[in-house]
Structure 1
Amino acid sequence: MAVTATTTPGGAVVRRIRRFNSEGLARVKNSWVPILQGSLAAGVSWYVAMQWFGHHNVFFAPMAAIIIIGLSGGDRLRRAIDLNVGVTLGVGLGDLLVTTFGGGIWQMGVIVAIAMVTAIYCDKSQLVFTQAGIGVVLIATIFPPGTSGGVDRMLDSFIGGTTAIVILALVPDSPLKGGRKEIAAILGIASNVLAEVTVALDKGDAARIRAALATARGTQANINNLIAHAKAGREAAAISPLHWKNRRRVKSLMRILNPVDNAMRNTRVLARRAQVIAEDHDEVSAEQIAIMGELAEVMARLSQLYGTNDSIQESDEIPRLTRKLRQLGARAGGDVADGRVLSAVMVLGQSRSLIVDLLQICGLSRNSSKAVLAPTSTHPEQPPELHS
Structure 2
Amino acid sequence: MSGSPLIRRMALRAFDFSERSVRWGKRSQQRRVERWRERLPFIVACAITASVAWAIATHLFSHDLALFAPIAAVITVGLNHGQRAARAIEIGVGVTVGVGLGTLFVTLFGVGTWQLVVLIAASMSFATWLGAGNLITIQAAVQGIVVMTLFHGDDQGLTRVLDAVIGSSCAIAASLIMPTASLHRPRRAAAKALTEAAGTIDAICRALRENDEDAGRDVLARARRSESLMEPLRETSRESLASARFSALLRHRRGHAEELAALVAPLDRLLRNLRIVARRCAVALWRHEAVPETHRELLAGIADVLRDCAQELEQGHVPREVRGRLIELAERSAEFEIDRSLSAVVLLAQARSMIIDVLELCGMDSADAREAVPDME
- Report the TM-score, using the length of structure 2 for normalisation: 0.88
Aligned to 1:206: 213
Aligned equivalents of 1:77 and 1:356: distance in 2? 39
Aligned equivalents of 1:221 and 1:53: distance in 2? 48
Retained in 2: the 8 A contact 1:285–1:336?
no
Kindly indicate whether residue 359 of structure 2 is the aligned counterpart of residue 349 of structure 1. no
Retained in 1: the 8 A contact 2:81–2:246?
no
Kindly indicate whether residue 163 of structure 2 is the aligned counterpart of residue 162 of structure 1. no
Correspondence for 1:125 among 133, 138, 147: 133
Aligned equivalents of 1:256 and 1:335: distance in 2? 30
Q: 1:326 to 1:156 in 2, by over 3 A?
A: same
Retained in 2: the 8 A contact 1:49–1:58?
yes
Deviations 1:53-98, CA, capped at 9 Å, x for gaps = 1111121111112222333585333333322322232223322233
Aligned to 1:383: none
Aligned to 1:242: 249
Aligned equivalents of 2:147 and 2:337: distance in 1? 71
Aligned to 1:281: 288
Aligned CA RMSD, in angstroms, stands at 2.5
Give the fraction of aligned pairs with identical amino acids, expressed as a percent.
30
Retained in 2: the 8 A contact 1:74–1:228?
no
Deviations 1:320-344, CA, capped at 9 Å, x for gaps = 411222222333349544212x222
Aligned to 2:61: 53
Aligned equivalents of 2:263 and 2:26: distance in 1? 38
- Report the TM-score, using the length of structure 1 for normalisation: 0.86
Aligned to 1:232: 239
Kindly indicate whether residue 203 of structure 2 is the aligned counterpart of residue 196 of structure 1. yes
Q: 1:360 to 1:12 in 2, by over 3 A?
A: closer
Q: 1:251 to 1:29 in 2, by over 3 A?
A: closer
Retained in 1: the 8 A contact 2:42–2:181?
no
Q: Which moved more, 1:284-293 or 1:343-352?
A: 343-352
In the TM superposition, 1:54-203 aligns within 5 A as: 54-71=62-79, 75-144=83-152, 146-173=153-180, 175-203=182-210
In the TM superposition, 1:373-384 aligns within 5 A as: 373-375=373-375
Deviations 1:7-62, CA, capped at 9 Å, x for gaps = 45x66765665454343333223322222112112211111110111111121111
Aligned to 1:6: 15
| 1:226 to partner: Cα distance | 0.9
Aligned equivalents of 1:189 and 1:75: distance in 2? 32
SS of equivalent residue, structure 2 residue 331:
helix
* Aligned pairs, number: 368
Correspondence for 1:29 among 16, 25, 37: 37
Q: 1:107 to 1:264 in 2, by over 3 A?
A: same
Aligned to 1:262: 269
| 1:129 to partner: Cα distance | 1.8
| 1:177 to partner: Cα distance | 1.5
Aligned to 1:385: none
Correspondence for 1:305 among 307, 312, 315: 312
Aligned to 1:321: 322
- The unaligned stretches of length 5 or more in structure 1 are 378-388
| 1:219 to partner: Cα distance | 3.2
Q: Which moved more, 1:267-276 or 1:88-97?
A: 88-97
Aligned equivalents of 2:36 and 2:181: distance in 1? 16
| 1:236 to partner: Cα distance | 0.7
